[in-house]
Amino acid sequence: MSAALGVALPFWLDRPDDEAIEVARAAEQAGVETVWVGEMATFDAFALATAIGLRTARTRLKIGPLAIGVRTPVAIALGLSSVATLTGRPVDVALGASSPAIVEGWHGQTWEAPAARMRETVPALRSILAGDRTELDGPHVRTHGFRLRRPRPEASISLAAFGPAMTRVAARHADEVVLNLVTTEHLRRVRAQLDLEAQAIGRPSPRLAVWLPIALNPGARAQAQLSAQLAVYLRSPGYGEMFAQLGFGSLVERARAGARRSELATAIPSELVAHVCAVGSRAEILDRIAAYRDAGADHVAVVPSTAEDAGGVHALRAVSTDAAG
């Protein structure tokens, strides 16, 4: 199995929640090494990762991105160590700022200065995973007297970084940066910024990963599934601006004016889907994965459409062998 190809579990709004486990099992059967276990409105990420670890034999689990405004470094370290202990599997973690809608709306926490909070969170988490006792009084992160009983110093820390401020933090502190639903041009710019920022402080540039939705020979239902997911991101900070630069500003304006997601999904053209997804034949998907690698991605985590391919089984089999090379 190759670390160059991974699978990010999809959270398609039109599919059963527990299909995530089937996707993870299909990924292992296809020879994919790493499964990213994110978190939305279905499962707690640590619980889902544990379930996957107990139902697979070799999968390396990468949990997140987790919202740092919702979980403290202590909570993240406890969750990671719990999954690693219960599954006997190597576990890594990814962190992100999430969004005001989730941090403030869902959880009632403050979504402020996310880059500054991340700048404190990553060193604190590293220290806890190394087995140190906490003693920190930062403007955003405070913890005293905690020591992890089962340290996990080998765990890597990835950062979801979209804007320049978070990218600067990632270049200085992360092992890896992860991007989701971006164009190859955006990825190329992030790669260049990471390299410059890391060089300025004399550290190796972090690895760069990208999540890429894929649909093998999609029909109408698979196309609709991808469009519905893209509609969620139209109003999000950063994503909206990127889509507007691609020429879809009117869709972004409609989203930010309060248009329903279902209305936006039907208005999303195939051209927008093609900018941030890989759809079509096996050869077309492999070419698209190669394009992201050429733009600077060290790791491509595919997000399989399952509307017409339960568990993503056929898509994962189609791309795993050649795409892992």
pLDDT level of residue 325 (50, 70, 90 thresholds)? very low
* Overall average pLDDT of the 69-95 stretch: 96
pLDDT level of residue 102 (50, 70, 90 thresholds)? confident
Residues 64 and 206 in one domain: yes
Residues 206 and 226 in one domain: no
The dihedral sign for the CA sequence 164, 60, 48, 319 = positive
Residues 161 and 304 in one domain: yes
Q: What single DSSP character describes residue 104? A: I
Q: Considering the entire predicted model, what is its pTM?
A: 0.93
Residues 20 and 132 in one domain: yes
SS3 category, 173: helix
pLDDT at residue 170, as a whole number = 95
Which structural domain, as residue segments, surrounds residue 66?
Answer: 5-213+296-323
pLDDT at residue 13, as a whole number = 81
Tokens 């507007």 belong to residue: 244
Which residues contact residue 152 at a Cβ distance below 8 angstroms, ignoring those fewer than 6 apart?
A: 77, 80, 81, 84, 91, 129
Alpha-carbon distances of 141 from 113, 122, 159, 205, rounded to whole Å: 12, 10, 17, 26
Residues 38 and 104 in one domain: yes
* Overall average pLDDT of the 294-321 stretch: 95
Residues 138 and 58 in one domain: yes
pLDDT at residue 322, as a whole number = 58
Residues 249 and 188 in one domain: no
**Least confident among 2-6, 9-13, 111-115, 286-290:** 2-6
Task: Count structural domains, the chain.
Answer: 2
Q: What single DSSP character describes residue 182? A: -
Residues 246 and 201 in one domain: no
166 pLDDT higher than 60: yes
* Overall average pLDDT of the 266-293 stretch: 96
Task: Please tell me the distance from the alpha carbon of residue 244 to that of residue 277, in angstroms, as a whole number.
Answer: 17
Which residues contact residue 90 at a Cβ distance below 8 angstroms, ignoring those fewer than 6 apart?
A: 60, 61, 84, 154, 155
Which residues contact residue 117 at a Cβ distance below 8 angstroms, ignoring those fewer than 6 apart?
A: 68, 69, 97, 140, 141
pLDDT at residue 112, as a whole number = 84
Residues 149 and 228 in one domain: no
Residues 169 and 225 in one domain: no
pLDDT at residue 3, as a whole number = 66
Residues 256 and 274 in one domain: yes
